[in-house]
Amino acid sequence: MGQQRRRHTGAFKAQVAVAALREQQTLNELASAYGVHPVQVAQWKKQALSGLPERSPAGGRGRRTTPKPSRPGSTKRSGG
């Protein structure tokens, strides 16, 4: 029979993902060092990035507030 599937712990996946996020080595180099396929390293990196909160352009100090463009015909008029 073929090779049995390996199960990696969350800690191992996180370690590989952090190394990939540092971008000090290529995905191929990391895959070789950790004994996994390069596509798997890329997937773990992508999962790690999607799990991080988004950083706003204002340096992470809340959401940037910009006025919404008004729709035609939806202007408010004072009574009279």
pLDDT tens-digit series, residues 9-34: 999 999 999 999 999 999 999 999 99
CA atoms 56, 62, 63, 67: torsion sign: negative
**C-alpha distances in angstroms, 73 versus 6, 76, 78?**
61, 9, 14
CA dist list (Å): 47 to 3, 15, 18, 56, 77: 26, 13, 11, 20, 49
pLDDT at position 3 is 84
Q: Residue 18: its pLDDT value, please?
A: 95
pLDDT tens sequence across 29-59? 999 999 999 999 999 999 999 987 877 666 5
Residue 26 in tokens: 């290529």
